[in-house]
Structure 1
Amino acid sequence: MSDQEALDSFIDKWRARWPEWSVAEVFVPREQREPVLAWMALLQELTDAAWGGSDPRPGEAKLGWWVEELQGWSRGIRRHPLGQVLQKSPAPWTQLAASLPSLRGSRERPVDAEDAFAQLGTVVEAVAVIEQGLFGAGSGARDVIAANLLHLRLAHHPGDAAPLQVLAMAGEGGAIAEWTRQLAVRIPTHGATRPRRLLAGLARARLRRGEAVQPVPALQALWASWRAARD
């Protein structure tokens, strides 16, 4: 497999989860489109490692590998295909590397909604700084990023996503639906970089329909993206 084919495989995996992006990306400046895809694919790799599978040990090992990889990016060294696009950016990759142990720790079910957001604080800070460098300034980005990440967890790794308080209130059968409802209210689309606002807009559209993982129809995706681009 060539370097380009390997890169495309990771981006295609992200696109498979976000088919609406083919609509939303028309609002992204052309020169940012490939970096956006590579960056979102990287975050998918990291969050899948942190939250995926019934056994946490493979994910822990993968995150450990990523710590070394991201530290290498700051020194001009790369091994992962996504580094073809991202590593050349003078972003604080070591800050993201340093946040990965806390991402691993966020696998534990949060106590309540505030704890769910707080668990991701260190990661969100690193992501916000990198996105600001890659895609432009955005005040209030941390709230958007945190809610977006919590949506990703609910959509793709729902097992322990709902906080204990939600579980106690809604019961095992209703916890995911209740947490979906709460996140739909708490996910903003203003104050972050445009790519992040667009993704948050799509996530909120999904959550409002009550299906965190189910893509929204093209016309709804267009409307959500247009509104997010204007925020």
Structure 2
Amino acid sequence: MSAPRGEAIEHFVAKWQRREPEMAQAEVFCPPALRPRYRAWGSLLHELRESAFELSDPRVAEVKTQWWAEELLGLAEGRSRHPVTAPLAGVPANWPALVHALVALPASDARPGDTGAALARFGALAAAIADTEARLFEHPAGGRDADAVAVHLLLHRLPEGLAADDQAGLPMNLLARHGLTAAQVAAGQGDPLLRDWATALLAALPLPASHPGLYRRLRAGFDRARLARLAAGRGFDPPGPFVTLLRAWRLARRA
């Protein structure tokens, strides 16, 4: 990668790592030869998540998602226009499948009835991400990698997504059980509901050891820690840096 592009990607890596500081600490356990892909993949997933779920103007979200779709299709032909995708160009991943799942996602906007339906909404996208990830990092696809990705997407819709149109994908059965509206949860009245939601997602999250790839094993382990804290009423933030570094070391050793 040229020096200007290498410098440009740092902006996007920093954006991603502000949201997922655990992955910044864990980078030291990624083999040096794969670190450019590790950083580019994490940053790309962050950009895709932002364009698909986190922009307040639906028209802007649609335009940005389409732009990324075109960029991913370019990767299938070995072309890259963005600093984040440059380290991924030429990797023989099924980029068209990821594009199809990404652009099809907005059509699935019905409120899920339960946890299973909430996870199923992300099923195709999660499967495409898991398949692409396995090809990028040259490891066998884990049988439950897609489940971990779906849980990750729902977890990281919190807390900001509570005020969005889809209310972060909260299922209707939880709202009914607690006698709350999504607006009340977004206003801070739903701590018991969020603890139950975290418990449900934690039950659906595969154990980190089920993931053959380091990236997903790390992310699943960190998501498990975040969900356990939320289920215990300790908020959305990840554990502290020392505990996180120790967890990253343990997760990396499971390879």
Same fold (TM over 0.5): yes
Query: What are the within-5 Å matches in structure 2 for residues 52-201 of structure 1?
Result: 52-106=54-108, 108-135=110-137, 136-140=139-143, 141-159=145-163, 160-161=167-168, 162-170=170-178, 171=180, 172=185, 173-174=189-190, 175-188=193-206, 189-192=208-211, 193-201=213-221
Question: Structure 1 pair 110/63, CA: closer, same or farther in 2 (3 Å)?
Answer: same
Alpha-carbon shift at residue 29 of structure 1 (Å): 1.7
5+ long unaligned stretches in structure 1? none
**Distance of 1:181 and 1:155 partners within structure 2:** 16
Q: Which amino acid aligns with 2:199?
A: R
Q: Aligned pair count?
A: 231
Question: Structure 1 pair 154/113, CA: closer, same or farther in 2 (3 Å)?
Answer: same
Q: Does the CA contact (< 8 Å) of 1:138 and 1:191 recur in 2?
A: no
Q: Does 1:225 align with 2:248?
A: yes
TM-score (norm 1): 0.89
Instruction: Name whichever of 36-45 and 25-34 sits farther off.
Output: 25-34
Alpha-carbon shift at residue 76 of structure 1 (Å): 2.2
Q: Does 1:19 align with 2:21?
A: yes
Q: Which amino acid aligns with 1:153?
A: R
Alpha-carbon shift at residue 212 of structure 1 (Å): 6.3
**Distance of 2:87 and 2:62 partners within structure 1:** 25
Query: What are the within-5 Å matches in structure 2 for residues 20-35 of structure 1?
Result: 20-35=22-37
Instruction: Name whichever of 122-131 and 136-145 sits farther off.
Output: 136-145
Q: Does 1:205 align with 2:228?
A: no
Alpha-carbon shift at residue 108 of structure 1 (Å): 4.8
Alpha-carbon shift at residue 164 of structure 1 (Å): 1.6
Alignment RMSD, CA only?
Answer: 2.2
TM-score (norm 2): 0.82
Question: Structure 1 pair 212/123, CA: closer, same or farther in 2 (3 Å)?
Answer: farther
Alpha-carbon shift at residue 156 of structure 1 (Å): 4.6
Identify the residue that residue 42 of structure 2 maps to in structure 1: 40
**Which one has the largest radius of gyration?**
2
Alpha-carbon shift at residue 90 of structure 1 (Å): 1.6
**Distance of 1:167 and 1:109 partners within structure 2:** 11
5+ long unaligned stretches in structure 2? none
Q: Does the CA contact (< 8 Å) of 1:197 and 1:228 recur in 2?
A: yes
Question: Structure 1 pair 156/202, CA: closer, same or farther in 2 (3 Å)?
Answer: farther
Following TM superposition, the consecutive aligned residue runs of length 4 or more in structure 1 with deviations greater than 6 angstroms are none
Q: Does the CA contact (< 8 Å) of 1:151 and 1:212 recur in 2?
A: no
Q: Does the CA contact (< 8 Å) of 1:111 and 1:165 recur in 2?
A: yes
